[in-house]
Amino acid sequence: MATLQDDTVRHGISDDKLTNAGSTGGVRQLLAAWQDETPTALLVLADGTVLEGIGFGALGEAAGEVCFNTAITGYQEILTDPSYLGQIVTFTFPHIGNIGVNDEDIESLSLAAKSGANAVIVHAKVTDPSNWRATRSLDQWLKARGIIGLSGIDTRALAIRVREKGMVNAVIAHDPDGRFDVEALRAKAAALPSMDGQDLVPVVTTAQRLDWDETSWVLGEGYGRREEAKRRVVAIDYGVKRNILRLLADRECEVIVLPATVTADEVLALKPDGIFLSNGPGDPAATAPYAVPVIKDLLDSRVPLFGICFGHQLLGLATGARTIKMTQGHHGANHPVKDITTGKVEIVSMNHGFAVDTGSLPEHVRETHVSLFDGSNCGIALTDRPAFSVQHHPEASPGPQDSHYLFDRFVDMMDAQKAAHS
């Protein structure tokens, strides 16, 4: 059996994994059965490595940067998170798709298929869904959205490859007849541009103003609607997730979502009590030329400002800090982050391939959060402006609500500012 270092890996399964699975006969039999099937999908890495597997979802080809996600739940939210645009998501948890999909767990504002992950890789074959909320299978859902899936891959071995050598570009192809021009796919994978320098925000940002009043999901009730509004928040959409907006609406905020190309004057004309900078895909330094001047003007207005993920990185750039490309990034729902201001350690959801360089933070910016995995920056606050941001996703609720206090901090900051002015 081949390994990931060889040119072609039959169904992406290595000798070591087969050996380790020997104590569980069911796993060994499953892998052996896959070996008898004709490969119907390929993952072709930029270094020429070809991984064979069984395709599901849409037919055709897709390209992107391969990353891995260690979460064991929430795959539908992950696949519809606009921050994953341009990436092929590999799940290390083997059983993805077994609870199906529904119409409620979509995170992108846009209903367009190309507003989330480019493709998905899983280990085990996708089974029929078994969950009371499921409305269809993952396979059906991916087909409808035009997203390719690949199963039968040794996803943990692929994750190790990414961890040791960094995120790699790749092309994924699905043909039910197993007919592939491997050399052409290798050439396409090798020619893909790096995520460095890519501004992907225009693909996912809203085209016009959107007024948001949907509140969080409640068992037996579904999503609600905000009634009273005590604060007005303008959210700049670089690829915002719906649940961020819901948590703001929960806190009696009127939420106005504006495109990423909005000007500071357009934002301030709405007389917001607070400004939110959203998550999003791509290289923040590539979005900075049009986003950072706006953020600088908004900071000068001294309206309270809060940023998450991509918005955190843009805030860092606006203060004069730098952002850096990470080797493997952070993608998962079990990341420990320490809030330096309180000493509290929280379990958070992460999804980013770039980070704010702690060593580049100017004097008027203090670090507020740090990753306990690798010490990378996970939060900042300005000392001369009412503004702060975090790298992780508090709305994703992995703790499950360890980080919801950040929305309360934002509300308290807005209320304090309003009280001071009155």
Task: Examine the residue annotation and report whether 253 is marked as an active-site residue of this protein.
Answer: no
Task: Examine the residue annotation and report whether 309 is marked as an active-site residue of this protein.
Answer: yes
Question: What is the distance between the alpha carbons of residues 93 and 126, in angstroms, rounded to a whole number?
Answer: 12
- pLDDT bracket for residue 24 (50, 70, 90): very low
Question: What is the β-pairing status of strands 214-218 and 222-225?
Answer: antiparallel
pLDDT of 5 above 70: no
- Report pLDDT for 223: 97
Which three-class secondary structure state does DSSP give residue 292? helix
- pLDDT bracket for residue 12 (50, 70, 90): low
Q: Tell me the pLDDT tens digit for each residue of 304-343.
A: 999 999 999 999 999 999 999 999 999 999 999 999 999 9
- Report pLDDT for 298: 98
* Region 188-196 average pLDDT: 98
pLDDT of 50 above 60: yes
What domains are there in the chain, each with its CATH number? 8-191 (3.50.30.20), 201-421 (3.40.50.880)
Which three-class secondary structure state does DSSP give residue 13? coil
Q: For 39-105, where are the E strands, in sequence order?
A: 41-45, 50-57, 60-69, 87-91
On whether the CB atoms of residues 151 and 122 are closer than 8 A, the answer is: yes
pLDDT of 23 above 90: no
* Region 396-417 average pLDDT: 95
The overall pTM is greater than 0.85: yes
* Region 117-134 average pLDDT: 96
Paired with 323 in beta bridges are 356
- pLDDT bracket for residue 17 (50, 70, 90): very low
Give exposure, 20-38, as e/b (b: 16+ Cβ within 10 Å): ebeeeeebeeebeebeeee
Q: What is the dihedral of CA 203, 348, 381, 303, to 10 degrees?
A: 50
DSSP secondary structure letter of residue 391:
S
- 38 φ, ψ to 5°? -75, 130
Length of the chain in residues, anyone?
Answer: 422
- pLDDT bracket for residue 37 (50, 70, 90): confident
* Region 202-209 average pLDDT: 95
- Report pLDDT for 3: 42
Q: Which residues contact 38 (CB under 8 A, 6 or more apart)?
A: 178
Task: Examine the residue annotation and report whether 395 is marked as an active-site residue of this protein.
Answer: yes
Q: How many CA atoms lie within 13 A of 14 on its CB side?
A: 15
- Report pLDDT for 177: 96
Q: Which of 174, 309, 312, 378 is catalytic?
A: 309
Q: Which of 174, 335, 369, 393 is catalytic?
A: 393
**Is the sign of the CA dihedral 278, 282, 284, 287 positive or negative?**
negative
- pLDDT bracket for residue 19 (50, 70, 90): very low
Burial class (CB in 10 A: 0-12, 13-18, 19+), 350: buried
